[in-house]
């Protein structure tokens, strides 16, 4: 199963992954789903090295959440 290279973009990875998965016998739709799932897992792993910032308005209502790299 393909894995993203360190500095590979999403488009580069998906373009490389789908044909590989099809060559392994997966249908186009299944190959696409698998490749995007692999990419999402990579993104989730990289977020474990980030912190979350949250901002609240004057009524303590959550208004923004974003990830920032340290």
CA distances from 19 to 31, 37, 56, 58 (A): 8, 15, 45, 52
Q: What is the pLDDT of residue 44?
A: 78
Q: What is the pLDDT of residue 1?
A: 86
0.85 surpassed by pTM: no
**Displacement of CA 16 from its chain's centroid (Å):** 15
Distance CA 66, CA 43 (A): 14
pLDDT in tens, 9-68: 999 999 999 999 999 999 999 999 999 999 998 887 765 544 444 454 455 544 444 444
Q: What is the pLDDT of residue 50?
A: 47
Task: Name the residue with higher pLDDT: 4 or 60.
Answer: 4
Q: What is the pLDDT of residue 8?
A: 92
How is residue 56 written in tokens?
């609240």
Distance CA 52, CA 69 (A): 9
């Amino acid at each position: 199963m393909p894995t993203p290279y360190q500095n590979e973009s999403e488009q580069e990875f998906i373009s490389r992954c789908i044909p590989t998965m099809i060559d392994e016998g997966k249908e186009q739709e299944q190959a696409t789903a698998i490749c995007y799932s692999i990419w999402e897992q990579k993104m989730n792993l990289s977020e474990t090295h980030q912190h979350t910032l949250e901002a609240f308005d004057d009524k303590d209502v959550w208004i923004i959440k974003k990830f920032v790299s340290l």
